[in-house]
A and B are shown apart, each in its own frame.
Chain A
């Protein structure tokens, strides 16, 4: 009897714990940023599963059905839901194909610009003095050149030098977009450097490299995550811009920015759907990454978390 009682106690306890767990996951789910996630879905779903989703061959032109309107309009056909482009390729399939280059460029662009910016930022903030001064002068220089100019120059030069594919775009983004990381990480490093744990680490004989890696770096990860999320949108914008101006993704491959530029010549004939759908995809992707960045900043910052709780309580 007695032992049975204990058993029920235990199972009741674990059941309660289980319920609490479920409730917690539920709560966490409701707090997930649904709007940003939905906005980012096309980029990731199309980018990752691209070829599986193709309705038609994205590269096979068929001039007989060129510039066919979207299905719900007069002259439309449900075989081509969003209509066809200027040479009769299925627009939806082209949009799906275009996501892949954007996704690859954005991820590697953010990765490399982030690494460069974090490295220079921590170095400048931690070393101070001449090193800091030197790095900050480089930052000034990069901020004096319009970002898109710098990207165009680098991408065009690399392409001319014979580097093909997406590499010139990724390098152009990495070289042009590291500045915000460096400035932010430097600022954070300057304040972390004053903290006791860094002084203690030094007293215990840690090398500068160890302090930067093991003590400063973990302290800046939060702001880096937030920054990288927002910069994902920035990289998409940059790639779209470069492709639009002719130095980004090259035909016959495609990207959303390139589709807008290619259809530009035909808009006077009323083919509004090509630039419209491609532009909507770029816009919601950037919007999603900005919103997700905002959400992450609030979620990761203990100060705002406390403030949010207070607001909810009152």
Chain B
């Protein structure tokens, strides 16, 4: 078991090394890094000084080593667009993203699981039909378009909710709906199909034969196992959700790291892009690790070698 946990941690570290290589290479795909990272109208001498300062005159492997060393210290350099330390800006944006992301994650999962269970239990009824249709559309509608449509209806036409910015609950409603829409549809589909499998299994039949109430059979016996695929995909879900935030935050001018990523991409602010990508990937890796360890505790059927 200890070995299993250590292996998982090691795999997480390897994944992060992979991510760091990708962002490192991506910054070099577009040519001269010094020109990208230094201020736009820098003279030849300034560029040379910049290269020397960030070790960009060194061979590539050493450059990578310096990049990783600095990143581990939380130093991602200076933002080109803001001309301030990258970490300072990113840290300032994280609370807003956490607020929106957390609310969307909770809502999407609760609603998705609930609708998934209902549509599996009431299979073939209009409830099931409705949920499945919602799930189909949920996965086909682009998040940014949904966000704009919501804004068009509830802010521009009906004047019920604000179009943009951060504030109280009222500001949160539309962005959360737009972000959690896909999560809900995705979780619904996974829950429904795994619930249908579980309800068809021998031990659920046995639980019924023992005379348990339908409520107990579903929530005590079936649901626990039906949720395993949903929990397993938590990391993947988080990655998709943060990707979705890039759109929602852009549409609603929500001051988080999603919109920061988009503006940094358009400004080719590579130090910022590298920092955001690494931080987001690290949280995905952490969630995956957490889920793996959680299964060690809750699922006795998994064998660890």
Whether A145 touches B268, Cβ cut-off 8 Å, given contacts A154-B26, A268-B156, is no
Contacts of A279 in B (CB 8 A): 141-142, 145, 148-149
Interface flags, B21-57, vs A, CB<8A=1, else 0: 1110011011100001000000000000000000000
CB-based contact B15/A141 at 8 Å: yes
CB-based contact A140/B277 at 8 Å: no
Contacts of B144 in A (CB 8 A): 241, 244, 257, 260-261
Interface flags, B81-118, vs A, CB<8A=1, else 0: 00000000000000000000000000000000000000
Complex CA gap A161/B31 in Å reads 6
CB-based contact B18/A160 at 8 Å: no
Complex CA gap A279/B247 in Å reads 14
Nearest to B240 among chain A residues (CB) is A146
Whether A267 touches B31, Cβ cut-off 8 Å, given contacts A140-B11, A279-B149, is no
At the interface, yes or no: B193 with Cβ under 8 Å from chain A? no
Whether A286 touches B140, Cβ cut-off 8 Å, given contacts A245-B246, A247-B266, A275-B149, is yes
CB-based contact B145/A275 at 8 Å: yes
At the interface, yes or no: B80 with Cβ under 8 Å from chain A? no
Nearest to A289 among chain B residues (CB) is B140
At the interface, yes or no: A291 with Cβ under 8 Å from chain B? yes
Contacts of B29 in A (CB 8 A): 154, 157-158, 161
CB-based contact B239/A147 at 8 Å: yes
Q: How far is the CB of B64 from chain A (nearest CB, A)?
A: 15
Of A143, A145, A267, chain B has the most CB atoms within 10 Å of the CB of A145
CB-based contact A270/B156 at 8 Å: yes
For window 257-288 of A, CB contacts with B under 8 Å fall at 257, 260-261, 264, 267-268, 270, 272, 275-276, 278-279, 282-284, 286-287
Q: How far is the CB of A266 from chain B (nearest CB, A)?
A: 11
CB-based contact B251/A144 at 8 Å: no
Nearest to A264 among chain B residues (CB) is B148
Interface flags, A155-178, vs B, CB<8A=1, else 0: 011101100000000000000000
Contacts of B235 in A (CB 8 A): 143-144
Q: How far is the CB of B173 from chain A (nearest CB, A)?
A: 18
CB-based contact A145/B19 at 8 Å: yes
CB-based contact A160/B239 at 8 Å: no
At the interface, yes or no: A103 with Cβ under 8 Å from chain B? no
Contacts of A116 in B (CB 8 A): none
Contacts of B247 in A (CB 8 A): 148, 241, 244-245
Count, chain A residues at interface, CB 8 A: 47
CB-based contact A144/B15 at 8 Å: yes
Q: Find B243's partner among A149, A264, A284, A291 (CB 8 Å cutoff).
A: A149
Q: Looking at the complex, which of B203-211, B280-288, B297-305 is the stretch in contact with chain A?
A: B280-288
For window 192-229 of B, CB contacts with A under 8 Å fall at none
CB-based contact B148/A260 at 8 Å: yes
Complex CA gap A284/B140 in Å reads 7
Contacts of B15 in A (CB 8 A): 137, 140-141, 144
Nearest to B145 among chain A residues (CB) is A279
Contacts of A257 in B (CB 8 A): 142, 144
Whether A148 touches B243, Cβ cut-off 8 Å, given contacts A247-B266, A268-B163, is yes
CB-based contact B266/A246 at 8 Å: yes
Q: How far is the CB of A264 from chain B (nearest CB, A)?
A: 6
Q: Find A145's partner among B22, B30, B251 (CB 8 Å cutoff).
A: B22
Nearest to A246 among chain B residues (CB) is B266
Whether A267 touches B152, Cβ cut-off 8 Å, given contacts A161-B30, A260-B145, is yes
Whether A141 touches B236, Cβ cut-off 8 Å, given contacts A153-B277, A157-B30, A287-B140, is no
CB-based contact A267/B151 at 8 Å: yes
Whether A145 touches B277, Cβ cut-off 8 Å, given contacts A157-B30, A275-B148, A279-B148, is yes
Whether A146 touches B148, Cβ cut-off 8 Å, given contacts A152-B262, A245-B246, is no
At the interface, yes or no: A233 with Cβ under 8 Å from chain B? yes
Whether A240 touches B142, Cβ cut-off 8 Å, given contacts A140-B18, A145-B281, A149-B280, is yes
For window 177-212 of A, CB contacts with B under 8 Å fall at none
Whether A247 touches B239, Cβ cut-off 8 Å, given contacts A153-B26, A283-B145, is no
Complex CA gap A245/B259 in Å reads 10
Nearest to A161 among chain B residues (CB) is B30
Contacts of A153 in B (CB 8 A): 23, 26, 265, 273, 277
Nearest to A278 among chain B residues (CB) is B145
Complex CA gap A305/B185 in Å reads 27
Nearest to A154 among chain B residues (CB) is B26
Contacts of B11 in A (CB 8 A): 137, 140
Contacts of A291 in B (CB 8 A): 136
At the interface, yes or no: A48 with Cβ under 8 Å from chain B? no
Contacts of A270 in B (CB 8 A): 156
Interface flags, B231-243, vs A, CB<8A=1, else 0: 0000110011011
CB-based contact B140/A146 at 8 Å: no
Complex CA gap A267/B19 in Å reads 38
Nearest to B151 among chain A residues (CB) is A267
Complex CA gap A268/B164 in Å reads 12
At the interface, yes or no: B139 with Cβ under 8 Å from chain A? yes
Complex CA gap A256/B239 in Å reads 25
At the interface, yes or no: B60 with Cβ under 8 Å from chain A? no
Whether A283 touches B239, Cβ cut-off 8 Å, given contacts A141-B15, A156-B265, A161-B30, is no
Whether A138 touches B18, Cβ cut-off 8 Å, given contacts A144-B239, A152-B265, A290-B140, is yes
Beyond contacts A147-B243, A149-B242, A152-B262: 8 other A-B pairs, Cβ-Cβ < 8 A, are A145-B280, A145-B281, A145-B284, A146-B243, A149-B276, A153-B277, A246-B266, A260-B144
Pick the 3 closest A-B CB pairs, nearest first: A141-B18, A146-B243, A279-B145
